[in-house]
Amino acid sequence: MIAYEKELNPEQCRVVMEEGGPLLVIAGAGSGKTRTLTYRVARLVEGGIPPERILLATFTNKAARSMLSRVAALIGREIGGLWGGTFHHCAHLTLRAHADRLGYARNFSIMDSEDARQLLNTCIAECGVAVKSEKFPRGEVVGEMVSLAVNTEAPLPDVIENRFPFFSHRTEEIAAVAERYRERKKTLNVMDFDDLLYNWRELLLHFEDVRELYAGRFLHVLVDEYQDTNRLQAEIMDLVASRHRNLMVVGDDSQSIYSFRGANFENIMRFPKRYPDCRIFKLETNYRSTPEILHLANLCITNNENQFQKTLRAVRGQGVRPVLAPARNVLQQADFVAQRILELHRSGIPLGQIAVLYRAHYHSMEVQMEMTRRGIPFEIRSGIRFFEQAHIKDVTCYLRIIVNSRDEMAWRRLLGLYPKIGRVTAEKVWHFVADHSDPQAAVLADEFTKSATRLAIQSLTRFQDTFRLLQAFAESGPVEMIDAVLRSGYRDLLRERYSDASSREEDLIQLANFSSRFASLADFLSELALLTNMTENGSQEETAQDRVVLSSIHQAKGLEWTAVLMIWCSEGMMPLARALKEPGGEEEERRLFYVATTRAKDQLYLCYPLTDYARGMGHLPVSPSRFIMELSPYSARAKDRPYEQWLIDDEYA
């Protein structure tokens, strides 16, 4: 028998030993949520519940495997038959047995994201909209629209209006493509990832015998990370647990940060209303962070009105206070971060135990550059390195051909962006330019648009217009040139190609701001090239343990580091200005700040620049984040603040 009272703290033990019924477990950061779930499953099995009558729904297969292997170790035997895995995994098991009830053969195939994108592009062509206008979303973007509609159970027109307003005038055509996509999937006997959940729900909702089969089978249903579930997932769990009502959901409302993916914050907040007889348990004992870090985190999240009140309590002994480190400007912020990382490493902290966290990917641009210059190895968890992203490379290629009109690789990349210009056509155009004594004059000549096929004339004319515009701004510098690229059609291309077009456009605006620091366009491009080469030529022998982690806060959730440096803790950046426009945006941004602070075990640094450059306005003062101001008003004495403030001297300039 497992000695539950000895191996668990009282909070965890109460959850594990509870008999049944609807249970809501609010598990604070670092409170042993996974341990509690693991022991709960072990207790159920040890108490005589057959494993095949337990369902454990998680968001990753890794989490399920980890918990089930721990359960096996606790009870001393394997537990075959238990349904443990992702929502999609459980949906797949159900649909293999009953897909014929929905008009599918049971041997249906599951499409990956690439398959879905290709089929959507085929549907766009079949609906005849691709040739009507160039300003129509590609398959990947239409897929994101359809996915959000499915997972939020919102009408597709509403999703387009709220999330993709620049395509609202094409709503009917997009809806036609979505319907064609649905029909084609049925004909081909295939499902995408969203179909797995949607069809699982359809089976349970509309076929009483199927619902009774599974609701009767599962005596206990457990759901991990419940705050991240969407409406569809929550409804499915309600249906599966409808017979025995032994539904235990575990999560932390203060870590609900994925609304942009369709996660529904109200699932966890309204659970007591859906189950008035539910019992609420709170795990507030934190094993990760020092009392000083938890004090700051607790102060921050108390400002959210819509939450389950809780206070994290540290098990660990006294540590050092978090540090507020305002820098003179963005460059000094990057310099401080790099220098502090080196100091932490010299003090004995492995590089892999240090993280730099930020709200948006472009916030890390200067830090990436400074760490590259200093030879500090790092890995990016928020995407690829900033200057290696496709949209950054696209725009810099426009600038490259102005500086060097014989830059063949830049030419080939740019020509590939335009419709009706394939590899063969691009080859002809390139040779026309390259063979001319004056390549720039060749681009502006009438013969340029006739250098390839007749179908490409319109695209080449667009390219010619963009080139002419860039030439006009060449003396003004890269700031105006990047703006010109966006205005001349690249903004539309982003919206057509990428579901995160707004974020990518924001990246380019920040790239333009960054470029203003250089005396000339050539200097700017040279710096980018040197940094890229330094990255590519760096040591390949370092393991992940030897690298500092650079990550968005979203990607950092669930992880922990000895030392965390948060950058851009300023208004407009944290919280992000555009996020504040969304319903409940401020509270979700505050939850993001809370998640970031609770990733730190021993040391936490909050950094922001005092000034930033704005085009046309020069260097402007920057205000600290409202979340920092809430921690301690100006009137508070220094010793009463939850942080100590450092003055960054010229050592970090």
The secondary element (H helix, E strand) that includes residue 644 is: strand 644-645
Listed in sequence order, the residues at least 6 apart from 140 whose beta carbon sits closer than 8 Å to its beta carbon are 117, 120, 497, 498, 499
* Residue tagged active-site, from 11, 173, 192, 224: 224
Helix 291-301 / helix 585-597 crossing angle, nearest 10 deg: 180
* Residue tagged active-site, from 231, 321, 599, 601: 599
The Cα 379–Cα 394 span in angstroms is 23
- The number of beta carbons lying within 10 Å of the beta carbon of residue 30 is 23
Nearest to 256 by CA among 241, 243, 236, 271: 271
Listed in sequence order, the residues at least 6 apart from 335 whose beta carbon sits closer than 8 Å to its beta carbon are 327, 370, 652, 653
Judged by DSSP in three states, 251 sits in: strand
Pairing of strands 611-614, 618-621: antiparallel
**Would you say how long the chain is, in residues?**
653
Is residue 401 within 8 Å of residue 407, measured between CB atoms? Answer: yes
Is residue 96 within 8 Å of residue 162, measured between CB atoms? Answer: no
* Residue tagged active-site, from 18, 34, 381, 453: 34
Residue 255 a catalytic site member: yes
Residue type, position 124, single letter: I
Is residue 11 within 8 Å of residue 281, measured between CB atoms? Answer: yes
Residue 282 a catalytic site member: no
The Cα 419–Cα 492 span in angstroms is 13
* Residue tagged active-site, from 86, 233, 255, 372: 255
Residue 186 a catalytic site member: no
Listed in sequence order, the residues at least 6 apart from 175 whose beta carbon sits closer than 8 Å to its beta carbon are 156, 157
* Residue tagged active-site, from 12, 33, 58, 229: 33
Judged by DSSP in three states, 573 sits in: strand
Judged by DSSP in three states, 248 sits in: strand
Where do we find the tokens 């912020």?
A: 333
* Residue tagged active-site, from 11, 173, 195, 225: 225
The Cα 601–Cα 597 span in angstroms is 9
The Cα 590–Cα 587 span in angstroms is 5
Pairing of strands 23-27, 54-58: unpaired
The Cα 181–Cα 217 span in angstroms is 34
Residue 599 a catalytic site member: yes
Judged by DSSP in three states, 225 sits in: coil
Is residue 88 within 8 Å of residue 197, measured between CB atoms? Answer: yes
Structure tokens at 364: 């890390």
**Phi and psi at residue 50, in whole multiples of 5°?**
-60, 135
Nearest to 584 by CA among 226, 256, 274: 256
Residue 602 a catalytic site member: no
- The number of beta carbons lying within 10 Å of the beta carbon of residue 308 is 16
Strand-pair partners of 644: 323
Where do we find the tokens 């359960």?
A: 71
Known catalytic residues are 33-34, 224-225, 255, 599
